[in-house]
Amino acid sequence: MNLQKPYFVTSSSKEAIAYKAEMETRYGSFSRDECDVIVALGGDGFMLEAIKGDLDLNLPIFGLNFGSVGFLMNALNNEELIERINLSQSIDIAPLKMAATTSNDKVHTGIAINEVSLLRETRQAAKLKITIDNKTRLDELICDGILLSTPSGSTAYNLSAHGPILPINADVLALTPISAFRPRRWRGAIIENSSQVEFEILESEKRPVSAVADNVEVRDVIKVSIAQDKEHKVKILFDAKHSFEERILNEQFKF
């Protein structure tokens, strides 16, 4: 790679804002129309916002961690930033596109880098029907919720819900229930990433459900359709010494 024109975006962290000013003094202040790489300064949540905010640019994005976990980020150090970026490893991620129909028949769309999740809104458990590629797979799932995760998101909410960790280059998605009550023994499924997934919310007035694409929530949904976003590819850059594949492998041996 020969990337020389960084466009810095930052969270509200004072440290991140100060670092952005320092980096722009050193490397130049390029606009989103002039740049050839995006540098996101913040945590994982901000990284997801930055990716989706500049999705139309189709540029690689390099994150520097000013948050807590920083699974999608690179560590701060004293190495030359531009050199680090050009020596980094690029991971291609295919986002998910959600279309959520609400009780008033409005359709809301959202893009998810990590996962789309359905969550109960009240004390009543959610009751869902699951269809994959126009074939009903579960007539009724009673649960706290369910999520459909990309490989990059499989170590996030999906892992906390006891879903499988997926290799980053695998052409699959993880379908993981959250506190399944019936069928109690169902632990989810691994499906092809080309699959068209639809959730129908049963008894939606009695058991209201919200749909969340990463950090964008739509409440009182009655139907949610999810498919791979074929119009966009996300290129995330990781330090060659600490690759994303290595991070995912390490997660599988943590206790």
Active site residues: 44
- How far apart are the C-alpha atoms of 167 and 249, rounded to whole Å? 8
- How far apart are the C-alpha atoms of 25 and 30, rounded to whole Å? 11
- Cis amide leading into 177 (omega within 30): no
Contacts of 253 by beta carbon, 8 Å cutoff, 6+ apart: none
Q: Is the CB of residue 244 less than 8 Å from the CB of residue 238? A: yes
Q: Is the CB of residue 171 less than 8 Å from the CB of residue 154? A: no
Query: 181 — phi, psi (to 5°)?
Result: -100, -45
